[in-house]
Structure 1
Amino acid sequence: MNDATNGPASTARDLAGATANPYLRGLFAPVHDEVTAFDLPVTGRLPETLRGRYLRNGPNPLPPVDPASYHWFGGEGMVHGVRLRDGRAEWYRNRWVRSDAVAGRLGEKLLHGPRHLGMDFAPNTHVQSFAGHCLALVEGGSLPYELDPELYTIGPFTFHGTLPGGFTAHPAVDPHSGEMHAVAYCLTWPYVQYLVVGTDGRVRRRVDVPVDGHPMMHDFSLTVRYVLLYDLPVVFDGRRAPGAFPWHWDRGRPARLGVLPREGGAGDVRWLEVEPCFVFHPMNAYEHDGRFITVHLVGYERLFDGERPVPELCPAHLERWTVDLAAGSVRRVRLDDRPVEFPRADPRRLARRHRFGYAVRARAGGSGGAGGFGAGLVKYDLARGGSEEFRMPPGGDVGEGVFVPASPGAAEDEGWVLAFAYDPLREATDLVVLAAQDFAAGPVARVHLPVRVPVGFHGSWIPDHEPGRDSYDR
């Protein structure tokens, strides 16, 4: 059963074919309907222990859109979700996040609530659950938006009135304490803000760390004792012409890594020089031998250094950074020559030593040809070296892979990797389920969605019985 609702004006349907903007064509092109489909067909066999929802966020612009100035990062957020239970795929849904602007353009009643500095943006970057709240997330000063179990927007979320400003697209939940950590920035702040949210869903700690020049800090790293801050040469420039992409590579800006003790203040940050580069996404970080921190991440040599910035045209690679706290140095080593992005690890290993990691193998040329982003998924063995790869067929595409352990006490790679993958034969998207311990063998199951899911960003597996949250058994 399919149900399409709330489609914008039909004139928007021709937008993707009428523009040369790669972010409005091909697999990046927005969809124009909200769809609900039940009892989805499955090829293969879904593990019966997968009981929950796989959710993923991404830009899906509503008209009117100016093809000359639109960039992938600026589209209103749409969350796509699949509900799994007892070996069945019960439903697929996609819903725009209802900021005031989105609700107004859809002809709906506005959802009243707080705003930070008057910002009204439908978060488009990540979706994550914490302390009983499912949150659509974005950076730069906007608030998270809370969603209900069926992906309808409840409204802006301020962690029960304790959030001092905007939030981040990439909070991290410490698997041992259960607390959420975040590093937030805002384009009007002369600092970045380290926040700790308790298991009750309220901010319990705030540290404002002064930084100059409005750097983009998309993500951060967490260890048992430290928070790592990436102060790198991509900065915001509000003086650019209206409609111009506001982020650019500042060739004169030093690159540095901040090491902040978890319980320290702004004056306790140690800033360590690194070679010029940029980092969107760390994989994980951990301490060892009393003086070292190892970080696995995806690094760019430079980014947004041109008139029309297309990030996929600047390849990124898996790196290992070794931070020597005694010497005050950072050593970078490239681990793979394949271009990759969207690194993930077992969430139970966050801030602790890990062996395995996963990433999307980026397509050569990226969105310059609008043919998608991901040519495959890579599983890395970081302890022994080597990797396995799940490759997409010609015309196919795959997004970020999310690791789901088979059980709370399962081995580090005992479980599944879930991702949205475009099937060129069906001209629609599948949710693929890969066995992490037999990665290259291909999916153990494919859930066939009735529509194409546009290329997007980040997602999460939200189990039905998550600690600190009511069950979503419905």
Structure 2
Amino acid sequence: MGSQFLEDNFAPVSQEHTITELEVTGRIPEHLDGRYLRNGPNPLSEVDPATYHWFMGDGMVHGVRLRDGKAEWYRNRWVRNPFVAGLLGGGPSPRAERNEVSCGLDAIGANTNVISHAGKTLALIEAGVSAYELTDELDTVGQCDFDGTLPGGYTAHPKRDPATGELHAVSYFFGRGNRVQYSVIDVHGHARHTVDIEVTGSPMMHDFSLTEKYVVFYDLPVTFDAESAVNLTMPPVLRTPAKLVVSALLGRVRIPDPIAARAAGRIGSNGDLPYRWNPRYPARIGVMPREGGNADVRWFEVEPCYVFHPLNAYDDGDSVVLEVVRHPKMFDREVHGPGEGASTLDRWTVDLSAGKVLEERLDDRGQEFPRVDERLVGRRHRYGYSIAIADGATPGDSVYKHDFRTGSSVVRSFGRGRQPGEFVFVPASPGAAEDEGVLMGFVFDAATRRSDLTLLDAETLETVGAIHLPARVPHGFHGNWAPTE
């Protein structure tokens, strides 16, 4: 049985490139001085199509260096955790020591996001797996625990406060039982604040929202599935008692780290994902003051659904406004990746005075990977961007620009057979208007089997320039612009 997540442009590439001669159509604006980086799953070893989950592939980071109106290089590199380093024959990666919580999870690659912070390039993943530090040229340095200030893994979706430059994040790990961790990393790359928050059970909390006043938690019904995990990690004779033990522990007490680590290590790289849709689990969001604690979280029920990615959030008087991409379900019938119905753009307004949530549909077209001007994270914004999604995971041919002031949107189609990934906004200058700058992202061309780093005018969505790669970038997850410091 085949898997759509191993076919067409989901299929992995088999080679690392360093290319310094890149063809460019149009122009590269002179103000762009930095690297566009994008992370995604790229299995190195042979995988079983019947069990492979898109989220579990070995991490590969792609990057294009722009400076002085030129494209200086394209590189792609596997993130060399010990598993990948062993397969490539290089031995364990530097600084590959195991930390106390994520021990055993290092077989799963940091494959979801890539950011720059405090002078470092960091490849990120969630669920208690370690972040990895990379060089500017994308070679692996080793695990990152923020100089020992945040052991136990991180998250794929930190948010940078534009006022302070600090990274805020919410991290989950099934070994923590019914707790997730809110953390703040300062501008020097050290954790200055951590808080444990009690949730209903053991949810997959992929992302969160941040406003000027609040942290927002998405406690939604995709949860750690003991049966799936045990089937993956135990011989048949031990599965029934193991399921009973794991089910009893989850959501009630913290699983001892050696037990969780042993199970996670056997799940290993490029396998199944032990999270499933759980119709018995309540769907709710939690709102906590930024400097608050577990007792300060207020919980609000919402209609059952799943959210991978909020677009943005902001305070509005006594309300908190959340704009999210809402999936009706996740990992119910389709357990190898997203594919449970149309993912729509919705607005949830949390009325803190009335104690209720107003849920509105803003756009019923299938879409994902929403982004906003990073200078407005946690602030009221006018514009947001997303890409068309055909069937829950496969990109369509379009980028959407949403105008939340007028309620209108602009569509940029790249044409038949051309599929964009996530696009990010880069302002023309620090004081530029909200859509004064470029959108950049990879676009795959099925006819040539190659990808371009495409630059769009953020105001009009017209092409400014395209850097043509002599290879393709598989459909992956998240990217960011890393400006030269």
If the length of structure 2 is used for normalisation, what is the TM-score? 0.88
Indicate the SS of the match to 2:460.
helix
2:279 is matched with 251
Quick one: which of 130, 144, 160 aligns to 2:147? 160
Q: Does 1:183 align with 2:186?
A: no
1:125 is matched with 112
1:313: Cα distance to partner?
A: 4.5
CA contact (8 A) 2:327 2:341 kept: yes
Quick one: which of 195, 199, 223 aligns to 2:187? 199
CA contact (8 A) 1:77 1:122 kept: yes
In the TM superposition, what whole-angstrom CA distance separates every residue of 1:295-316 from its partner, at most 9, and x where no partner exists?
Answer: 1110112111116444134221
1:471 is matched with none
Quick one: which of 396, 408, 412 aligns to 1:386? 408
Aligned pairs (5 A) from 1:133-144: 133-144=120-131
1:107 is matched with 89
1:217 is matched with 205
Runs of 4+ aligned residues of structure 1 deviating over 6 Å after TM superposition are none
Q: Does 1:298 align with 2:325?
A: yes
Quick one: which of 276, 279, 290 aligns to 2:307? 279
Q: Does 1:231 align with 2:219?
A: yes
Q: Please tell me the residue identity of whatever aligns with 1:119.
A: L
- Provide closer, same or farther for how the CA distance between residues 137 and 77 of structure 1 changes in structure 2, counting only shifts above 3 A: same
In the TM superposition, what whole-angstrom CA distance separates every residue of 1:237-290 from its partner, at most 9, and x where no partner exists?
Answer: 13222265421111111111100111011111111111111100001100012x
1:399 is matched with 421
Quick one: which of 449, 461, 464 aligns to 2:469? 449
CA contact (8 A) 2:371 2:385 kept: yes
Quick one: which of 416, 426, 440 aligns to 1:418? 440
CA contact (8 A) 2:221 2:283 kept: yes
- Provide closer, same or farther for how the CA distance between residues 238 and 60 of structure 1 changes in structure 2, counting only shifts above 3 A: same
In the TM superposition, what whole-angstrom CA distance separates every residue of 1:33-69 from its partner, at most 9, and x where no partner exists?
Answer: 0011113110111111111100000000011211211
In the TM superposition, what whole-angstrom CA distance separates every residue of 1:113-162 from its partner, at most 9, and x where no partner exists?
Answer: 33223321220000011111110000000110000000000000010110
Distance, in Å, in 2 between the alignment partners of 1:22 and 1:378 is 24
Task: Name structure 2 gaps, 5 residues minimum.
Answer: 233-270
In the TM superposition, what whole-angstrom CA distance separates every residue of 1:412-437 from its partner, at most 9, and x where no partner exists?
Answer: 11010001001234220000000001
Distance, in Å, in 1 between the alignment partners of 2:273 and 2:150 is 28
Distance, in Å, in 2 between the alignment partners of 1:413 and 1:312 is 32
2:294 is matched with 266
Indicate the SS of the match to 1:327.
coil
How many residues in Structure 1 have an aligned counterpart in Structure 2? 439
Distance, in Å, in 1 between the alignment partners of 2:362 and 2:415 is 25
1:431 is matched with 453
In the TM superposition, what whole-angstrom CA distance separates every residue of 1:396-421 from its partner, at most 9, and x where no partner exists?
Answer: 11100100010000001101000100
Q: Does 1:325 align with 2:362?
A: no
Q: Does 1:49 align with 2:31?
A: yes
Distance, in Å, in 1 between the alignment partners of 2:392 and 2:217 is 28
Distance, in Å, in 2 between the alignment partners of 1:164 and 1:328 is 36
CA contact (8 A) 2:54 2:337 kept: no
Distance, in Å, in 1 between the alignment partners of 2:50 and 2:351 is 46
Distance, in Å, in 1 between the alignment partners of 2:210 and 2:455 is 28
Indicate the SS of the match to 2:472.
coil
1:188: Cα distance to partner?
A: 0.5
Q: Does 1:351 align with 2:378?
A: yes
Distance, in Å, in 2 between the alignment partners of 1:267 and 1:189 is 18
CA contact (8 A) 1:39 1:88 kept: no
- Provide closer, same or farther for how the CA distance between residues 222 and 397 of structure 1 changes in structure 2, counting only shifts above 3 A: same
Distance, in Å, in 2 between the alignment partners of 1:396 and 1:46 is 21
Distance, in Å, in 2 between the alignment partners of 1:394 and 1:178 is 40
Q: Please tell me the residue identity of whatever aligns with 1:447.
A: I
CA contact (8 A) 1:193 1:206 kept: yes
Distance, in Å, in 2 between the alignment partners of 1:31 and 1:46 is 27
Q: Please tell me the residue identity of whatever aligns with 1:221.
A: S
Distance, in Å, in 1 between the alignment partners of 2:137 and 2:203 is 36
Identity %: 53
Quick one: which of 17, 27, 30 aligns to 1:35? 17
Larger CA deviation: 238-247 vs 326-335? 238-247
Indicate the SS of the match to 2:459.
helix
What root-mean-square deviation, in Å, do the aligned CA atoms of Structure 1 and Structure 2 show? 1.3
Distance, in Å, in 1 between the alignment partners of 2:374 and 2:69 is 23
In the TM superposition, what whole-angstrom CA distance separates every residue of 1:153-185 from its partner, at most 9, and x where no partner exists?
Answer: 000001011003210000011010111100001
Q: Please tell me the residue identity of whatever aligns with 1:48.
A: E
Indicate the SS of the match to 1:437.
coil
Q: Please tell me the residue identity of whatever aligns with 2:54.
A: W
CA contact (8 A) 2:56 2:109 kept: no
Indicate the SS of the match to 1:69.
coil
2:66 is matched with 84
Distance, in Å, in 2 between the alignment partners of 1:444 and 1:51 is 16
Task: Name structure 1 gaps, 5 residues minimum.
Answer: 1-18, 466-474
1:458 is matched with 478
- Provide closer, same or farther for how the CA distance between residues 353 and 330 of structure 1 changes in structure 2, counting only shifts above 3 A: same
2:367 is matched with 340
Indicate the SS of the match to 2:387.
strand
Distance, in Å, in 2 between the alignment partners of 1:356 and 1:106 is 43
- Provide closer, same or farther for how the CA distance between residues 113 and 314 of structure 1 changes in structure 2, counting only shifts above 3 A: same
- Provide closer, same or farther for how the CA distance between residues 419 and 285 of structure 1 changes in structure 2, counting only shifts above 3 A: same
